[in-house]
Every structure is written in structure tokens, then in C-alpha cells.
């Protein structure tokens, strides 16, 4: 890809200086498009192959320790997600009244 980038910069330089014939420009643009399409297709194919490799793993082959670690690592804990509720004024007042009542 770096070669294509360098080549495109050189073409731009030649265009700016008026040294590049139209036929050469067409050939170079076609070449750059071909290289970009090939790189895109290769990357897409590589990503699809990685997904296929993961699909081959059956759930039975994964040890329980790994499952537990994955669950502990990648799931949200119920306690971590909830904030501790502050007691409301009314419930605090009722607790104080109850305490005073039992002291009498």
C-alpha cells in the first residue's frame, strides 16, 4: 500500500508540473483502483475466515474454568451496576421515632 501511496504522490507532482500524459494518468488510476480493491477483498476475506474459525469451536470443548472467567470478566455485576440507595428522610424519621418509643 505504501508503494501505491508514493506512486499517487508522484503522479500528483507530475500533474502539477504538466509532465503527465493523459494515457499514463488513466493507467495509473486503474492500477491504484485495482490495488485498493484487492486490499479490500483480502481484508474482508481475512475477517470472514476469523469468524469461521470461531464458529468451529463447540461449546463442549470450552472448559468450565474458562466459561466462569469469561462470565466474570465480561458480564456486568449486579452490585456494580446499581448505586446504593440513600435512606429517605421519612424512613430515617420513623426509625428515630421507633427508637425513642422503645426507650420509654
pTM of the model: 0.42
Domain boundaries defined on the chain: 2-103
Least confident of 31-35, 57-61, 70-74: 57-61
pLDDT average, residue stretch 36-42: 91
Residue that is written with C-alpha cell 476469523 in the block: 50
The torsion angles phi and psi of 94, rounded to 5 degrees, stand at -65, -40
In this predicted structure, what is the pLDDT of residue 38?
A: 92
Q: How far is CA 69 from CA 63, 73, 77, 79, in A?
A: 10, 6, 13, 18
Amino acid at each position: 500500500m505504501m508503494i501505491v501511496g508514493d506512486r499517487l504522490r508522484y503522479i500528483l507532482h507530475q500533474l502539477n508540473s504538466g509532465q503527465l500524459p493523459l494515457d499514463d494518468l488513466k493507467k495509473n488510476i486503474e492500477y491504484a483502483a485495482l490495488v485498493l480493491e484487492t486490499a479490500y477483498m483480502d481484508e474482508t476475506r481475512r475477517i470472514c475466515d476469523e469468524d469461521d474459525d470461531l464458529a468451529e469451536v463447540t461449546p463442549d470443548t470450552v472448559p468450565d474454568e474458562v466459561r466462569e472467567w469469561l462470565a466474570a470478566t465480561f458480564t456486568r455485576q449486579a452490585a456494580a451496576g446499581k448505586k446504593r440507595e440513600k435512606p429517605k428522610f421519612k424512613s430515617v424519621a420513623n426509625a428515630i421515632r421507633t427508637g425513642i418509643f422503645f426507650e420509654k
